[in-house]
Every structure is written in structure tokens, then in C-alpha cells.
Amino acid sequence: MTDPERELARLLAERFQDAGDLDTGFANEGHVRMAAHASMRDWADRPLPEGMLRTLAAIALSSPTKSDMQSRDIVVVTDPQRKAGLAALTAPDAWIAAAPALLVFCGNHRRQRQISEWRGVPFANDHLDWFFNAAVDASIVLGSFIVAAEAAGLGCCPISQIRNRAEAVSTFLGLPERVFPVAGLAVGWPGAEAPVSPRLPLKLTVHADRYRDDGETETRAAVEGYDRWRDARQPYRRQRRARDLGVAAFYGWSEDKARQYSVPERADFGAYVRARGFKLD
């Protein structure tokens, strides 16, 4: 085996409990970097080169887009005062405010409506799929940016909290009607090595030819097996909502996710999207 083949096999075995039969014979350094992805929340005191983020944005925007519609934009925030203001709107986490750059990936269907008006052609797709296309386009660019940034040696961490106060963030960034934030991204030089997070077993998430449903009993057993396997490698340091839900004798991934979604999150996001000019029918 070559060095990339061995390293990819090692990383995938660290990530997936059922990675033993994966073929890594085609591996190269790019695959290794992708498999080694870890969310970065610790930043080195090192400035980003001028123009680097713009070039990385251009690389990311070279990614696929639905029907060449290009319904996605990136807002790059590096000015210290603007960055502090955006961080304050997003979440109280210190690592967000400390990031050298905060990016916001937006879905944009403003241009498409403008084009229809300019050309005098009726717009006949004012429904949920229109919104969905822009959200998917923005998500593809987000993933592409992360790959490009990590290939350049940077660290990244997506920020879903950007949608916690979507209206306030939109006002702060000056987003016009039919432009909406999909996710944020903290970017900078890594200040420490971040752990590789174990993922659900591939037998649960990769399906051959059609969706495979093993039934609730087998699926639950697989999830609980993953809970134990992950806990042995990366145990949670604290339990969510311990005051309200008690302290669990064993606290694994599924318990954490159940507790996370036991309280409402962004229940007003649908109203926000409609106010942005989208119909969700």
C-alpha cells in the first residue's frame, strides 16, 4: 500500500466502525485531506493573506449549480468591528468571535426574479422547490469552500446558529428580499489539532440500489452499538439539559441528539423565509 492508501484506511477506520472492507487502492492526498476533516474552533494568531478568501470563494463557486442558475452568494466578513457584530448576533460562543473570518453562505433567487422581469418573461415557479434549489446551491458551495480551505491549510467550522436570528442577521448584512442565510463558516489558521468525529456506521447511511430499512429493532441496535463505539473514542464532556432531564447513566450520541431536539429551534424560520418573498407550498 502507498502512504495515502494506508492513511486513508486509518482515517476511515477511525471514523466508521464498519470501514474494514473499504477499498483505498485509488487513494491520493486529496482523499486523505477530506477524510481527515475536523471542525476547527481553536485559532492561531496569524493573519490570513490578503485576497486568499476571495480566491477560495472563486474556487468554491466553481462547484456544480442547479441548471446553471448560480443561485448562491458568499458574504465574507473580516473587518474586526463587523465580525464582532455578526458574532454577537450569531451565538455567545467565544470561538466564533475569535475566528479571523466569518463567512455567510446565502441562497439567492433575487437575481432569477430580476432576470425574468428584465426579459419580460413570467416567473412560473413560485413554490417550495424554488427555495430548495437556492438552499442546495448554497450548501454545495459551503462544502466546496471547506475542501478548498482545508487543502490550503486552513481550519473551518460551519455555523448553523446563523439561522437562530435570521432576520437580524439579514438586516446586519443588508440581504435584500429573496436572499437568505443558509449557514455561516468560521475560517482561520488552526491553533490546535481537532479530533476526527466518529460517524454513524456505513450500513445505516449508504444504500445499494434502493433504500434499505432493516426495521426498528435492528436500526436501534446499530445506533446503540455506535453510541458505545463512539463513547470509547470520543465521550461527551457534558450532558445536555441535565437539570431538566436528569443525568443519564450512559450518555451517547443518540441521547445527546434526542435531548438537543427536545426543545424548539428556529420555529420562526418558515415565517422568516416567507417574509423574504418565498412561498413554501
Separation between Cα atoms, residue 141 and residue 62, nearest integer Å: 8
Residue ranges of domains in the chain: 52-194
| Burial 189-199, CB ≥16 within 10 A → b, else e | bbbeebebebb
Contacts of 30 (CB under 8 A, 6+ apart): 151
Separation between Cα atoms, residue 232 and residue 215, nearest integer Å: 26
For the entire predicted model, the pTM comes to 0.95
For residue range 21-61, list pLDDT tens digits in order: 899 999 999 999 999 999 999 999 999 998 999 999 999 99
The confidence band for 200, taking pLDDT boundaries of 50, 70 and 90, is very high
* pLDDT, mean over the chain: 95
**Is the separation of the CB atoms in 27 and 20 below 8 Å?**
no
User: For 99-104, what is the mean pLDDT?
Assistant: 98
User: For 201-228, what is the mean pLDDT?
Assistant: 95
pLDDT at 256: 97
Q: Is 167 exposed, middle or buried (0-12, 13-18, 19+ CB in 10 A)?
A: middle
Q: How many Cα atoms sit within 13 Å of 207 on the Cβ side?
A: 8
For residue range 226-247, list pLDDT tens digits in order: 999 999 999 999 999 999 999 9
- Alpha-carbon separation of residue 266 from 144, 226, 274 (angstroms): 26, 28, 14
For residue range 110-138, list pLDDT tens digits in order: 999 999 999 999 999 999 999 999 999 99
Statement: residue 281 has pLDDT above 90 = no
The confidence band for 99, taking pLDDT boundaries of 50, 70 and 90, is very high
**Is the separation of the CB atoms in 88 and 97 below 8 Å?**
yes
The confidence band for 199, taking pLDDT boundaries of 50, 70 and 90, is very high
Separation between Cα atoms, residue 238 and residue 195, nearest integer Å: 17
CATH superfamily placement of domain 52-194: NADH Oxidase (3.40.109.10)
Statement: residue 1 has pLDDT above 70 = no
Separation between Cα atoms, residue 165 and residue 3, nearest integer Å: 46
For residue range 159-193, list pLDDT tens digits in order: 999 999 999 999 999 999 999 999 999 999 999 99
Name the one residue in this structure whose C-alpha cell is 446553471: 68
Q: CA 225 from chain center: how many Å?
A: 25
Separation between Cα atoms, residue 254 and residue 256, nearest integer Å: 5
16's grid cell: 466508521
Give the rounded percent of residues in the chain with a pLDDT score beyond 90: 96
